[in-house]
Structure 1
Amino acid sequence: MLQAYLISLIISLVIGALLMKAGLVAPETVFEASTRRISHALPVFNLGLRAGVDLGVLLFVWNVLGALANLSFLYTASLFNPEQLGLSPRGLRRIFCGSRRMKLLCYLPGCSKIEVESLRRLYVWLMVPLLGIFLLGLESGLQVATADEINGSYLSAAVSLLPHGLVEIPIFTLAGAVTYSAHLRIRETAQQNLTRTVFQTLEVHRKAMPIKRMIWIVVCGLLLSGLVEAHVTPYLMRSI
């Protein structure tokens, strides 16, 4: 997972730098694209700040919600089991299992071999955290490229990302790896359309996962990175 982040970061860094240096895209446009995801949370951040909540705590809550969402993909995977459609919540299970073939995500690597629609959807579902890590890497690469274009140095980008990123990025990759490891476990059996075996394997994998320990690691790590991003990073930025 960390490798996926680094690869996507390098790709977006190179592409972003080339586009800006060629004058095809303004740095402001690139920066806006790299921060669009978090911009949706800015109104909530502003409300929290006006209420006196520490910025580090707000960043911590935002990041924890994202990390726990990554973990949740594994623990909601059973909703795709077509043999349990009669269990509660029935409506949600019917939506997850589906009946129509996915139009876009079915072209992800390995999907073409899966004939059972619920397995195909499960296969993609367990890949979502990996796609999220790719997105995070793309955003980071564009931010680094923008900082270099505006300030003429990669130092400011490194200072803005590294202090908290050294903790935050590994934590996010850990959370994503929990779900993606399940994807790797069931990939071959899903491609063989062995529905019952897939969900039995998932159940064993889920029970073997030390989830409580991982949640503690995620929470403590993201609390540290949030406080560093709110209080240490701005100080370092003012110092350069």
Structure 2
Amino acid sequence: MRSSHPLLYTAWKQLIRAYLIAMVISLAIGLMVIRVGFLSPERLFDASTQRIASVLPAFELGIRAGLDLGLLLFGWNLFGAFATISFLYTAAFFNPDHMGMPPRRLRRIFCGSRKMKLLCHLPGCSKIKVESLRRLYVWLMVPLLGIILLGLESGLQISTGVYLHGSLMAAVAPLLAHGLIEIPIFILAGAVTFSAHLCIRKAVQRNQTQSVFQKLDAHRKAMPIRTIAWSVIGGLLVAGLVEAHVTPRIMQLLG
């Protein structure tokens, strides 16, 4: 990855760094909040797992139908990873010069006609004058925001685990079992889109519309997407099976 597609490797490293920083900050905040008694560990844990809790009813239906929990987790994670990758392939809809091409309605929605003032406050957006480029710039930043959220959730889960299980090792071990595979794979999927953000960032801030979409098209065509897709599928399959069948045993051993 480093030699064949350096921007992909750079994006992957930056997302790893963002995840770790977010996790450490969240861990420190979680420990402090629990220690001062502002929130109980149970309530904080519920807050940190709210996203996965929303799909538990679907998992329960699948288990009742005889599906393996590991495969259900694999399907859920794969959907998220491929959705993240798809941001690169829908980025062309922001090209204002192609608004007459199908799907026209979707392109009009993506390009927009009104200035989204909220986007102007995001890092790097203040220099962007073309609305469609500003939206594209943020669109390709979504994986970074998602990875930061994942890091925040991980930090909160570890901080609550310290109090609920009595030790840092017991709190970290369940996450390490599948996280050593799942999180880097998620970040690889995010790097596919975020690398495009790095590729066009300077051209976007210079408001060079034609140059932006030329760079984006070349970047997309050079992406080794088949190799990445199979890596994501294989990695998330292993991670799902480990999370379903190995992690519970580790938690039982740790008490």
Are 1:51 and 2:91 counterparts? Answer: no
Residue of structure 1 equivalent to 2:232? 218
Post-superposition offset of 1:106: 2.5
- Aligned partner of 2:115 among 83, 101, 108: 101
Distance in 2 (CA, whole Å) between partners of 1:156 and 1:102 is: 45
Give the TM-score of the pair, scaled to structure 2.
0.93
Aligned to 1:191: 205
Report deviation, 1:105: 2.9
CA distance in 2, matches of 1:43, 1:93: 35
- 2:71 corresponds to which letter in structure 1? V
- Which of the numbers 134, 143, 159 marks the counterpart of 1:120? 134
Q: Secondary structure at the match of 2:117?
A: coil
Shift of 1:108: 1.0
- What letter matches 1:4 in structure 2? A
Q: Distance in 1 between matches of 2:114 and 2:54?
A: 31
Deviation per CA, 1:64-94: give whole Å up to 9, x if none: 0011011011000000000000011111100
Write the distance in 1 (CA, Å) between the matches of 2:229 and 2:190.
12
For 1:150-189, list aligned pairs within 5 A. 150-189=164-203
| Structure 2 gaps, min length 5 | 1-14
1:41 correspondence with 2:66: no
Match of 2:158 in 1: 144
Q: Which residue number corresponds to residue 11 of structure 2?
A: none
Aligned residues: 240
In the alignment, is residue 31 of structure 1 matched against residue 15 of structure 2? no
Q: For the Cα contact (< 8 Å) 2:119–2:134, is it kept in 1?
A: no
Deviations 1:39-80 (A, max 9, x none): 111111111011010000000000000110110110000000
- Give the SS at the match of 2:249: helix
CA drift of 1:110 comes to: 0.4
What displacement does 1:103 show? 2.9
Amino acid at match of 2:54: H
Query: 2: CA distance between counterparts of 1:104 and 1:235?
Result: 46
Unaligned residue ranges in structure 1 (runs of 5+):
none
1:118-143, Cα deviation, whole Å (9 max, x unpaired): 00000000000010000000000000
How far apart, CA to CA, are the structure 2 residues paired with 1:159 and 1:184?
34
CA RMSD of aligned residues (A): 0.7
Partner residue of 1:81 out of 83, 92, 95? 95
* TM-score, normalised by the number of residues in structure 1: 0.98
Which contiguous aligned blocks of 4+ residues in structure 1 show a shift greater than 4 angstroms?
none
Q: Distance in 2 between matches of 1:106 and 1:63?
A: 31
